[in-house]
Amino acid sequence: MKAASSRTRTRKFLAFAATSLAAVLAFGTPTAHADDFTYPEGYPKLGAKNESVPGYNLKHFGTSYGYVPTMLFSVHTNSSKEGNIKAYCIELDVDIQFGSDLKVGSWKEFPGTNKFKDNPDVQAKVAWIAQRSFPQTNLAEVTKASGVQGLTEKDAITATQAAIWHFTNDFKYQGLDGADKPTADRVGALYNYLISEKNVGLKETAKPTVEIKGENGTFKAGDPVGPIRFESNQATVKLTNELKYDLVDKDGKAVDKNAVPTGTDLFLKVPADAPAGEQEFKVSATGSVYAGKLLISKGTRSQTIIIGSNKEVTVEASAVLKWNAVPKATTPAPTPTPSPTPSNSTPAPKPSKSEPSTPKPGTPKKPGLPRTGTF
């Protein structure tokens, strides 16, 4: 076996700092802890019918029975009696040949004629279902993501198979044959979740993937710093180091470091009075080798199946988020009030009151007029 590692380009986001928090993500190189392996001669091989895990029968009026069975197939990769690959059918109208020899194939090698053949959107959505539903994602996480309470493994197997056929063969869920209404309702609810807008599709890959992405820019003091996104073909990743501040979603709710949602904008809640600093993020994603890949029959034409669970491997990625402190506001010194400037002009003197004139001596008074009238 050869040790494998994945390499991605180191990215840096420059920070712009002025009067607000500024952040920059510096990315480390993702590493993989996985083995590239080849199967022994004669493997992989589809297990016997009694090794597969049955689901419920789906009502399907296009068959003479009025229903179609569902099953999680068991595939052997060596002489061990236990099949360590679990897989679902992606061809509704092709018979399965138990015990047949198989090969791992890419999507372009699909030998069928349904919509998986040449529709990239269908291929991506089917791969998403294989990765995000049972058994690749455990039942507790499927329950949490879908909001469907009381799910059993049999429910999940049935809904997952129905959702895959919805995309590959235009199958429409019409209920279950031989099951009670509460069970049919749970299966229908999970089916609806798996084919909903939540299913954004996944790219074809041979291993789990993880990458940390962010945006450069300036951030208002006291606001959460971000967004930061953990991109993966797994539903959640795990933070493997401690954080100085809470990692929160867009609503400010702290996320579980052991189950950080992927493909979602997250933020580091750095307080307004925080000093300049940095935070390293170390994340790991665990998933199956070849999950979402095809298993194609080598000999007699048999139903093509898609890997839903296999040997688990872990990949890791890291990034460093840096921020600048907010400059403290300074109070400007008060501006002095100017003193009044004295005037250089001399005010004009006020005129004095005039004195009554005194007659010159020797000047006789003029006689007044005599009074008239009645008193």
| 328-359 confidence digits (pLDDT tens) | 766 666 666 666 666 555 555 555 555 555 55
Q: What dihedral do alpha carbons 137, 139, 141, 147 form, nearest 10°? A: 130
Domain for residue 211, yes or no? no
pLDDT at site 78? 85
Asked if the model's pLDDT at residue 365 lies above 90, the reply is no
**Amino acid, single-letter form, for residue 290:** Y
Look at 68-77, 236-245, 246-255, 348-357 and tell me which has the smallest mean pLDDT: 348-357
Give just the sign of the alpha carbon dihedral 10, 11, 15, 20: negative
pLDDT at site 341? 61
pLDDT at site 346? 54
Q: Kindly report the backbone phi and psi dihedral angles of residue 223, in degrees, each rounded to the nearest multiple of 5, phi listed first.
A: -85, 150
Domain for residue 189, yes or no? yes
Arithmetic mean of pLDDT, 240-262: 93
pLDDT at site 16? 27
Domain for residue 370, yes or no? no
Asked if the model's pLDDT at residue 37 lies above 60, the reply is no
pLDDT at site 156? 98
Helix (H) or strand (E) holding 363: none
Helix (H) or strand (E) holding 356: none
pLDDT at site 339? 65
Closest by CA position to 317, among listed 250, 255, 249, 228: 228
pLDDT at site 375? 37
Domain for residue 359, yes or no? no
Domain for residue 269, yes or no? no
Kindly report whether the peptide bond that precedes residue 135 is cis, defined as omega within 30 degrees of 0.
Answer: yes
pLDDT at site 360? 52
pLDDT at site 223? 72
Express as a percent the part of the chain with pLDDT over 70.
Answer: 74
Domain with 83, as residue range(s), is 2-205+290-321
Question: Structure pTM?
Answer: 0.66
Arithmetic mean of pLDDT, 248-255: 92
220 versus 130: the higher-pLDDT residue is: 130
Buried b or exposed e, range 204-221, using 16+ CB within 10 angstroms: ebbbbbbbbbbeeeebeb
Asked if the model's pLDDT at residue 8 lies above 60, the reply is no
Look at 19-33, 273-287, 288-302, 332-346 and tell me which has the smallest mean pLDDT: 19-33
Domain for residue 199, yes or no? yes
CA atoms within 13 A on the CB side of 375: 2
pLDDT at site 219? 60
Q: Measured in whole angstroms, how far is the alpha carbon of residue 308 from the centre of its chain?
A: 22
CA distances from 222 to 21, 74, 269, 275 (A): 8, 53, 8, 12
Asked if the model's pLDDT at residue 269 lies above 80, the reply is yes
Look at 12-16, 86-90, 199-203, 237-241 and tell me which has the smallest mean pLDDT: 12-16
Asked if the model's pLDDT at residue 300 lies above 70, the reply is yes
Express as a percent the part of the chain with pLDDT over 90.
Answer: 53
Mean pLDDT of all residues belonging to the chain: 80
Domain count, the chain: 1
Arithmetic mean of pLDDT, 59-75: 91
Rounded Cα distance between 375 and 365, Å, is 27
Domain for residue 221, yes or no? no
Arithmetic mean of pLDDT, 109-126: 96
296 versus 358: the higher-pLDDT residue is: 296
Helix (H) or strand (E) holding 232: strand 225-232
Domain for residue 116, yes or no? yes
pLDDT at site 151? 98
Rounded Cα distance between 203 and 112, Å, is 20
CA distances from 81 to 47, 74, 213, 236, 306 (A): 9, 11, 43, 31, 21
pLDDT winner (highest mean) among 18-32, 75-89, 182-196? 182-196
Asked if the model's pLDDT at residue 33 lies above 90, the reply is no
Rounded Cα distance between 281 and 22, Å, is 17
Residue 373 — very low, low, confident or very high, per pLDDT cuts 50/70/90? Answer: very low
Residue in the block written with tokens 């208002």: 220
